[in-house]
């Protein structure tokens, strides 16, 4: 049996560490369909405390102070990325390409730069191993051009059909993702979560925000799992309520561009 996992990290009072995960979820799925193990375990459905949950935030669960770093940071769109890989695994195939039925962009990133000083709490071990990047997996039925606008910078890539992945350095402010063909936009959206230069709740948060284009269902914590939100906080910059907006912020008006090419291989 092999396992696949998304992200490891916690800023809790009794364990405070992060591991660089980057394209871990993506790379492990390619290993799964290559090695073809008898069983596969996804780690985990609901461990919000160590930030490797893939189940919805809205599902009822106990708040072991994890609401501080899970609030407004859904992961369930990682499941959308996994669907063609799961289908390929079950069919004994070595590529997800034949199981991609619709164009989709899956993206994730941390919500603050790693150098941000949140001095009301201790910085987690391993913080310096993290990369200030946005990660994008393009599930494409045919080749296209993928554009990532992060702050005032636009990165444009020629992406092959299948499931190519790319990472780009992030900037603060809004994050926008677009797929085009023949210079016409096919799909596009701006993330509901901006990258910011302020400490959410006054604490370090190395959790990954995950989104998709076209947009998925807005997923937020329920009031029953925000009971420990304020415990231990030394500042009052956060409140025990979901604050993920319904509509995204406006992207930066000016941008420069960079051109690259992405192949459908493990990055």
Model confidence pLDDT, tens digit, residues 230-240:
666 666 656 66
The rounded percent of the chain whose pLDDT value lies above 70 is 79
Strand 256-262 and strand 153-159: the pairing is: parallel
Say how far apart CA 238 and CA 76 lie, in whole Å. 23
Say how far apart CA 96 and CA 163 lie, in whole Å. 7
Stretch (H or E) spanning 84? helix 77-91
Higher local confidence (pLDDT), 61 or 33? 33
What is the domain partition of the chain in residue ranges? 2-233+248-262
Select from 191, 88, 193 the least CA-distant residue to 149. Answer: 191
Q: Provide the token pair at 55.
A: 């189940």
Other beta carbons within 10 angstroms of residue 87's beta carbon come to: 16
Q: How far is CA 216 from CA 25, 123, 128, in A?
A: 19, 32, 32
Tell me the mean pLDDT in the region 100-115.
Answer: 96
User: In the structure, what pLDDT confidence band is assigned to residue 72 with cuts at 50, 70 and 90?
Assistant: confident
Q: Provide the token pair at 170.
A: 């992030």
State yes or no: pLDDT of 27 exceeds 60.
Answer: yes
Peptide bond into 44 cis (omega under 30): yes
Higher local confidence (pLDDT), 14 or 58? 58
Say how far apart CA 58 and CA 216 lie, in whole Å. 14
Which range among 33-37, 63-67, 147-151, 255-259 shows the weakest confidence by mean pLDDT? 255-259
Higher local confidence (pLDDT), 247 or 39? 39
């Amino acid at each position: 049996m092999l396992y696949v996992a998304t992200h490891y990290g916690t800023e809790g009072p009794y364990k405070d560490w992060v591991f660089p995960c980057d394209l871990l979820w993506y790379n492990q799925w390619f290993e799964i369909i290559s090695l073809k193990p008898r069983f596969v375990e996804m780690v985990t459905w609901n461990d919000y405390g160590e930030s490797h949950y893939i189940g919805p935030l809205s599902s009822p669960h106990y708040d072991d102070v994890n609401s501080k770093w899970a609030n407004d940071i859904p992961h369930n769109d990682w499941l959308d990325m996994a669907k063609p890989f799961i289908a390929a695994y079950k069919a004994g195939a070595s590529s997800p390409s034949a199981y991609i039925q619709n164009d989709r962009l899956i993206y994730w990133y941390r919500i603050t730069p790693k150098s941000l000083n949140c001095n009301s709490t201790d910085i987690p071990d391993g913080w310096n191993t993290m990369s200030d990047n946005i990660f994008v997996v393009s599930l494409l039925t045919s080749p296209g051009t993928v554009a990532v606008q992060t702050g005032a910078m636009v990165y444009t890539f020629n992406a092959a059909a299948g499931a190519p992945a790319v990472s780009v350095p992030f900037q603060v402010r809004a994050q926008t993702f677009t797929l085009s063909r023949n210079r016409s936009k096919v799909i596009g959206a701006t993330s509901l979560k901006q990258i910011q230069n302020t400490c959410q709740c006054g604490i370090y948060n190395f959790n990954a925000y995950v989104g998709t284009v076209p947009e998925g269902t807005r997923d937020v914590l329920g009031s029953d799992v925000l009971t420990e939100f304020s415990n231990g906080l030394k500042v009052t910059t956060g409140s025990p309520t979901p604050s993920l907006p319904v509509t995204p912020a406006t992207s930066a008006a000016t941008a420069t561009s960079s051109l690259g090419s992405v192949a459908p291989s493990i990055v």
